Chain A
Amino acid sequence: MRKKNKLAVSLKGVTKKYAWHYDKPTLVELLLRRKVTSSFIALDDISLDIKKGEKIGIVGSNGSGKTTILKIITGITTPNKGTVRTWGKVVSLIDLSAGFHPELNGWENIYQNGLLLGMSRKEVSRKIDQIIDFADIGDFINAPLYTYSSGMKLRLGFSIAVAADPDVLVLDEGVAVGDWDFQQKSRDKIAEFFAKGKTIILVSHWMDYLEKHCQRIVWIENGKIVGDGGLSVLVKYQKNKKS
């Protein structure tokens, strides 16, 4: 009998070190040994299992390791120690306008971005009308990206990311983008993901938002998990911040 896997993300003993660089790193410096290389530990032996369908909020002060943990979950970077496993497609809604090419038009950018996010060509072709429809940027879809306003880029980025049909969604509070209409639309879309039982990882400084949407809160401080549990962790975190 096969046991059905219930996990979406599993981190085991994950440690991530970064080298400090004050300036651009160069080979000449290395050869001359003029530079004292120092590193800091962004994540220190973190183990974390996220179940399928879980809505999890990650809190912590600036520089606590929140961003690093997201980068590791999305696979943008790799831990120095430990293992990361993810099941299903992980898509990040943070930094939506990244990965566009300014010289290409909307259509071409949809294909490129879609493929980068792990869709197949066929899948993009099938969903492209839906993507364009959702982005709702009118004739700009035929124009090169450098003519877009930043709001349009975000809208297009958002539409592609949600069309990728992620199993695990990584987002932050700034996810409601664009003008008021689109904000409404993107909120509805996110709500849809919540309702569909997708795994959602949320990073936010906005406590009300976390309180409303998450059942589980992970609190990270100095690269270590200091709290993991229900909303009570959030209360503790807030208390700690005030004191």
Chain B
Amino acid sequence: MKTKKYKRWFELLMAMTLKELRARYKMAIFGFLWMFLNPVLQMLVMGFIFQFFVPIEMDNYFEFIFPGLLAWNFFAYTVSKNTPMYVNERALIQKAKFPREVVVLAVVLSNLFHFFVALVLFVVWLALIRGEIYWQLWWVMIMAVIWLTMLTSGLSLLLSSLNVRWRDINFGVQALLPLWFYATPIVYSLEWLPMWLTDWLKINPMTGVVELLRLSVGLESGGFYWQGLLVTIFILTLGIVVFKRESLFFDDWI
């Protein structure tokens, strides 16, 4: 009985994830191709902008910013889409009793798919320009992706629950995400900052994710910062606790 319940939960999550992917690409002529084209175009545009319009002197700036940009895009896109999710999907909530968490987790998973495709393309591209595949630290990359998924899921659950009760949470998120971007060493390196500021930035869990991802593709500036991991575990726990309490009453507020 218990396993059946988990199986159903998983099936529902997969169906919702596929829905997210399908609904996005359904009407496009290229269909499946868009899933690959999208991240490639994004990489090219982002790389172009930051390489030529941000005056930074650095060797291989292109490969330096990419891991961070990809992780950030996944994070920011998922969190900003998920925050108003239960309000937008009120028809689903009012339809039946089902595990509410699948709605936001499906967005996390479908975007994770995009992130993963982009990451693989990035590694292939790195291998091409370096002339060798750097894969000794593949498990570090997996850890970074798991870390990022934990953070994104926790924050999605937390913010989407709170936004049901207070609709201005969404405005706050939209306003804070750009600031958060610059508080994360994505287009710059931690080494360029004064010590006191670096210590503060290490508390930012996205710093930890980005630096770990850099480490995994063999960039010198990468590293592991445990402070952010603690913050991530805290956010995930808080997200689950708040979600569990609030999700029982979603229907009352939408």
In the complex the two chains form, is A116's CB within 8 Å of B98's CB?
Answer: yes
10 of the cross-chain contacts (CB-CB < 8 Å) are A21-B253, A24-B167, A30-B166, A74-B96, A76-B95, A76-B251, A77-B248, A95-B95, A98-B94, A100-B91
Report how far A42 CA is from B65 CA in the complex, Å. 55
In the complex the two chains form, is A71's CB within 8 Å of B251's CB?
Answer: yes
In the complex the two chains form, is A104's CB within 8 Å of B26's CB?
Answer: yes
Indicate whether A204 reaches chain B with its CB closer than 8 angstroms: no
**Residue in contact with B248 in the complex, picked from A18, A24, A78, A113, CB distance below 8 Å:** A78
In the complex the two chains form, is A121's CB within 8 Å of B167's CB?
Answer: no
CB A120 to nearest CB in B, in angstroms, measures 6
Residue pairs across A and B with CB atoms within 8 Å: the count is 90
Q: Which A-B residue pairs are the 7 nearest by beta carbons?
A: A75-B97, A99-B95, A27-B166, A78-B248, A77-B251, A26-B168, A98-B95
Chain B contacts for A115, CB-based, 8 A:
8, 11-12, 15, 98
Report how far A121 CA is from B253 CA in the complex, Å. 31
In the complex the two chains form, is A101's CB within 8 Å of B19's CB?
Answer: yes
- Output the nearest chain A residue to B93 by Cβ-Cβ distance: A76
In the complex the two chains form, is A116's CB within 8 Å of B165's CB?
Answer: no
In the complex the two chains form, is A26's CB within 8 Å of B166's CB?
Answer: yes
Which B residues between 204 and 251 are near A, CB-CB below 8 angstroms?
A: 248-251
Chain B contacts for A78, CB-based, 8 A:
248-249
In the complex the two chains form, is A99's CB within 8 Å of B168's CB?
Answer: no
Chain A contacts for B22, CB-based, 8 A:
103-104, 108
Given that A25-B165, A76-B97 are contacting pairs, would A98 and B8 also be in contact in the complex, using a CB cutoff of 8 Å? no
Chain A contacts for B158, CB-based, 8 A:
none
Indicate whether B27 reaches chain A with its CB closer than 8 angstroms: yes
- Output the nearest chain B residue to A21 by Cβ-Cβ distance: B253
In the complex the two chains form, is A104's CB within 8 Å of B23's CB?
Answer: yes
Report how far A14 CA is from B7 CA in the complex, Å. 31
Given that A25-B253, A78-B249, A116-B12 are contacting pairs, would A103 and B95 also be in contact in the complex, using a CB cutoff of 8 Å? no
In the complex the two chains form, is B166's CB within 8 Å of A91's CB?
Answer: no
How many residues of chain A get a CB closer than 8 Å to chain B's CBs? 36
Query: Which B residues lie at the A interface, using CB under 8 A?
Result: 4, 7-8, 11-12, 15-16, 19, 22-23, 26-27, 91-98, 162, 165-169, 172, 248-253
Indicate whether A118 reaches chain B with its CB closer than 8 angstroms: yes
In the complex the two chains form, is A76's CB within 8 Å of B94's CB?
Answer: yes
In the complex the two chains form, is A95's CB within 8 Å of B94's CB?
Answer: yes
Report how far A158 CA is from B3 CA in the complex, Å. 29
Indicate whether A112 reaches chain B with its CB closer than 8 angstroms: yes
Chain A contacts for B165, CB-based, 8 A:
25
Report how far A120 CA is from B4 CA in the complex, Å. 9
In the complex the two chains form, is B96's CB within 8 Å of A91's CB?
Answer: yes
Chain A contacts for B252, CB-based, 8 A:
18-19, 77
Indicate whether A135 reaches chain B with its CB closer than 8 angstroms: no
In the complex the two chains form, is A116's CB within 8 Å of B95's CB?
Answer: yes
- Output the nearest chain B residue to A111 by Cβ-Cβ distance: B15
CB A37 to nearest CB in B, in angstroms, measures 12
Chain A contacts for B92, CB-based, 8 A:
98-99, 116
CB B113 to nearest CB in A, in angstroms, measures 17
In the complex the two chains form, is B167's CB within 8 Å of A120's CB?
Answer: no
In the complex the two chains form, is A118's CB within 8 Å of B96's CB?
Answer: yes
**Residue interface bits A65-83, CB-to-B below 8 A is 1, else 0:** 0000001001111100000
